[in-house]
Amino acid sequence: MAFDSHVITLVEVAARLVNELTPGSRGGHDLEAPTGDERVRATAAALGGDGRRTPDVLPREAETLARHATDLRDAFEAAHGGHLERAAAVVNALLLATGARPQLDPLPGGGWHVHFHGTDDTLATGWAAGCATGLALALGSDLAGRLGVCEAERCDRVYVDTSKNGRRRFCSTTCQSRVKAAAHRARR
pLDDT digits (tens, 9 = 90+) for 131-147: 999 999 999 998 899 99
Q: Is the pTM of this model over 0.85?
A: yes
pLDDT at 1: 53
For 119, other C-beta atoms within 10 Å of its C-beta total 13
CA 127/CA 130 separation, integer angstroms: 5
pLDDT above 70 coverage of the chain, percent: 98
Mean pLDDT of the chain: 92
3-state helix, strand, coil in the chain (%, to 5): 55, 15, 30
What percent of the chain shows pLDDT beyond 90? 69
- Average pLDDT for residues 144-165, to the nearest whole number? 94
Q: Is the pLDDT of residue 181 over 90?
A: no
Distance CA 7, CA 13 (A): 10
Long-range CB contacts (within 8 A, 24+) of 46-53: 46/13, 46/16, 46/17, 46/19, 46/20, 46/21, 47/13, 47/16, 47/17, 47/123, 47/127, 49/16, 50/9, 50/12
Output the pLDDT for position 3. 60
Instruction: Check residue 51 and give its pLDDT.
Output: 75
Per-residue pLDDT averaged across 162-175, rounded?
A: 91
> What's the rounded Cα separation, in Å, for the pair 15 and 131?
9
pLDDT given for residue 83 in this prediction:
97
CA–CA separation, 92 and 3 (whole Å): 20
Buried b (16+ CB within 10 A) or exposed e, 41-52: ebbbebbeeeee
Highest mean pLDDT pick, 55-59, 107-111, 117-121, 174-178: 55-59
What does the pLDDT average to over 107-133?
Answer: 90
Distance CA 158, CA 110 (A): 35
- Between CA 65 and CA 149, with CA 126 as vertex, the angle to 5 degrees is 50
**What domains sit in the chain, N to C, each tagged with a CATH number?**
5-187 (1.10.3300.10)
Mean pLDDT of 101-107: 88
Residue 2 is predicted with a pLDDT of: 59
